[in-house]
């Protein structure tokens, strides 16, 4: 079968520093792959290469078997690669609802419509409100995004990704910095996505219990290279993970 997403020898150098080093990996549709590794391992950079925010020094990216290596970030987004950012990345002075509605509008392909009134497109607003409910932010729909507490900003970040309805979801530490009671909302959303056989999920996450529960497979990045790949139990037990990654967890 063809992979939903595949990278071949994907590499990026920043000066002499190789941040992502020849990563070859395929992701099957309907699976959730956790990407783990210590800080600075290259996880976020790998995501940036896949979603097009950074141009690879060498290597290729395939979406449903098609080479998208030369496609721009907006093109990749429209073709179905969706991305939630590790560092919250919103439209700060626009309302919470508008942040989501803009994603819904992009998905609907209405961006270049110059002559209709945006608020007449009730269906877009309705859809944005639906998504707002799923992340438990409905009460704050008219807040400016910048005024939200950190945890809510993280939720909004995920909500925007949901609104894009991509084929490939990329979550970059979605629950980082959230309070304990906020985490389940996000995890439930990801669980909901997992039941869809056509959706492919990549998840960078530090909380090992979350990774263990959600993932079908774990890959480990270390110094930009892919150093382990396999079933969750197997990878977590491997010496390289114990040393390179879980060592940090244990120390905490």
Partner 1 sequence: MILRTLFSGDMPRSRVLTVLLLLILAGLLLTPFVFPGAKSTNVAAKICIFIVLVSSFDLVLGYTGIVSFAHTMFFGIGAYGVAIALTHLGPTWGAVATGVAVALVLSLALSLLIGLFSLRVKAMFYAMITLAVATAFMTLASQLSDITGGEDGLSFKVPTLLQPSFSLREAPFMGVSLDGKLISFYLLMAVTIVLFLVMLRIVNSPFGRVLQAIRENEFRAEALGYRTVVYRTVSNVLSALFATLAGCLLALWLRYNGPDTSLSFEIMIDILLMVVIGGMGTMYGSIVGATLFLVAQNYLQDLMKIGSTAAGGVPFLRNLLAPDRWLLWLGLLFILSVYRFPTGIVGRLRSKRSAA
Ligand X SMILES: Nc1ncnc2c1ncn2[C@@H]1O[C@H](COP(=O)(O)OP(=O)(O)O)[C@@H](O)[C@H]1O
Q: Which residues bind partner 1 (CB under 8 A)?
A: 51, 53, 72-75, 77-78, 83, 85, 89-94, 98, 101-103, 105-107, 110-121, 160, 164
Nearest residue (CB) to ligand X, 20 versus 96: 20
From ligand X, partner 1, Mg ion, none, interface partner of 250 (C-beta below 5 to 8 A by class): none
The Cα 151–Cα 146 span in angstroms is 12
Instruction: Report the partner that residue 42 touches, choosing among ligand X, partner 1, Mg ion, none (CB closer than 5 to 8 A by kind).
Output: ligand X
Structure tokens at 124: 């877009």
CB-based contact 226:24 (threshold 8 Å): yes
Query: With respect to ligand X, which residue has the nearer C-beta, 237 or 248?
Result: 248
Q: Is 23 in the site for ligand X (CB under 6 A)?
A: no
Per-residue DSSP letters for 195-248?
A: T-TT-EEEEE---HHHHHHH-SEEEEEETTEEEEEE-HHHHHHSHHHIIIIIHH
By CB under 5 A, name the binding residues for Mg ion: 43-44, 86
The order of strands in the sheet holding 66-67 is: 17-27, 5-14, 58-63, 66-67
Nearest approach in angstroms of CB 153 to partner 1 is 13
Q: How far is the CB of 112 from partner 1 (least distance, A)?
A: 6
Q: Does 44 participate in binding ligand X (rule CB under 6 A)?
A: yes
């Amino acid at each position: 079968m063809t992979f939903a997403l595949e990278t071949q020898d994907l590499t990026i150098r920043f000066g002499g520093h190789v941040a992502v080093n020849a990563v070859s990996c395929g992701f099957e549709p309907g699976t959730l792959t956790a990407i783990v590794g210590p800080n600075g391992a290259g996880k976020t950079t790998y995501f940036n290469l896949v979603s097009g925010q950074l141009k690879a020094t060498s290597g290729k990216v395939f979406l449903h078997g098609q080479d998208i290596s030369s496609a721009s970030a907006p093109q990749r987004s429209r073709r179905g690669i969706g991305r939630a950012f590790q560092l919250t990345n919103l439209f700060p002075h626009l309302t919470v609802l508008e942040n989501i509605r803009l994603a819904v509008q992009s998905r609907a392909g209405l961006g270049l419509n110059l002559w209709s009134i945006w608020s007449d497109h009730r269906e877009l607003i309705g859809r944005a409100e639906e998504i707002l409910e799923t992340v438990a932010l409905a009460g704050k729909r008219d807040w400016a995004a910048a005024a939200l507490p950190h945890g809510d900003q993280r939720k909004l970040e995920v909500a925007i990704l949901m609104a894009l309805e991509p084929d490939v979801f990329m979550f970059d530490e979605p629950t980082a910095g959230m309070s304990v009671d906020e985490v389940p909302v996000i995890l439930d959303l990801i669980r909901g996505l997992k039941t869809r056989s056509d959706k492919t999920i990549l998840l960078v996450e530090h909380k090992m219990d979350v990774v263990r529960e959600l993932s079908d497979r774990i890959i480990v990045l270390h110094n930009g290279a892919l150093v382990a790949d396999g079933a969750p139990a197997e990878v977590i037990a491997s010496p390289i993970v114990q040393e390179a990654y879980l060592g940090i967890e244990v120390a905490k």
